[in-house]
Amino acid sequence: MPTLLILGGTGEARRLASVLPPTYRVISSLAGRVADPVLPAGEVRIGGFGGPAGLAAYLRAERIDTVVDATHPFAAQISANAALACAEAHVPLIVLRRPGYAVAGHRVPSLEAAAELLPSLGRRVFLTTGRQSIGHFRDPGTHYLLRCVDEPDEVPSNVDVIRDRGPFTVDGEVALMREHAIEVLVTKDSGGDMTAAKLEAAERLGIPVVVVDRPPVTPGVPVCASVEEVTARLIG
């Protein structure tokens, strides 16, 4: 029976684990960042592997036949590790990356660049860039609304935190942005329908959007844009 390792932490990774036929042994791997994760179907392992060497050793020990890197487009470290480990262990790797947002917005290459740009756009900022991003946004003259799954370790006094993992609706996002008098939205170019409601809401309200570009995929690794593309590639 072929064994597939899915590097997960996304809705697509969960969907992939649930649609593969029982002729596959499927192991999903989660980083363990979220306190109460939504678990995929089938076998699940949680926690880091110990860098590329640890992942390569795991691939050999579990006799993994194929790895699907279905991690979040901004989880750059694990994706780089997967490319190195798969090359070392001679295991085929497929990257599953949903397409990015079509919105133009104010495109920036990094969270640092987003923080630099913000004061020119507004002082009441809706941050949807994850709890670990809060350290980049330190302007004392700005008020931040941070939406994230888990509470950040440290919350400065000019930051309000809303804990929510969605799904979100356009009407709900409009109401939230109005309630908090939001002047500018910051998002990563994560892509996916789940999070697109905020973009439509911002457009409806005429609120500028700062979009942080995603890091590139390792050159030479095949990329699929959907779960269906991955299954077609695996099963034919």
Q: Which of 31, 68, 86, 199 binds ligand NAP (CB under 6 A)?
A: 31
Q: Is the peptide bond before 167 cis (omega within 30 degrees of 0)?
A: yes
Assigned token pair, 73:
């487009």
- Least Å distance, CB 145 to ligand NAP, is 18
- Least Å distance, CB 8 to ligand NAP, is 5
Q: Which of 7, 95, 114, 202 binds ligand NAP (CB under 6 A)?
A: 7
Q: Which of 19, 38, 39, 50 binds ligand NAP (CB under 6 A)?
A: 50
Question: By C-alpha distance, which of 216, 11, 1 is closest to 100?
Answer: 216
- Least Å distance, CB 81 to ligand NAP, is 5
Determine the Cα angle at 14 with ends 236 and 18, to 5°. 55
Q: Which residue has 């036949």 as its token pair?
A: 65
Assigned token pair, 89:
């262990």
Question: Which parts of 9-110 are beta strand (E)?
Answer: 25-30, 43-46, 66-69, 93-96, 106-108
Q: Which of 10, 66, 142, 187 binds ligand NAP (CB under 6 A)?
A: 10
Contact 24, 30 (CB under 8 A): no
Segment 147 to 206, residues that bind ligand NAP, using CB under 6 A: 188
Q: Which of 26, 27, 78, 127 binds ligand NAP (CB under 6 A)?
A: 78
Examine residue 33 and tell whether it contacts ligand NAP (CB under 6 A). Answer: yes
Q: Interface residues with ligand NAP (CB under 6 A)?
A: 7-10, 29-31, 33, 48-51, 54-55, 71-72, 74-78, 81, 130, 188
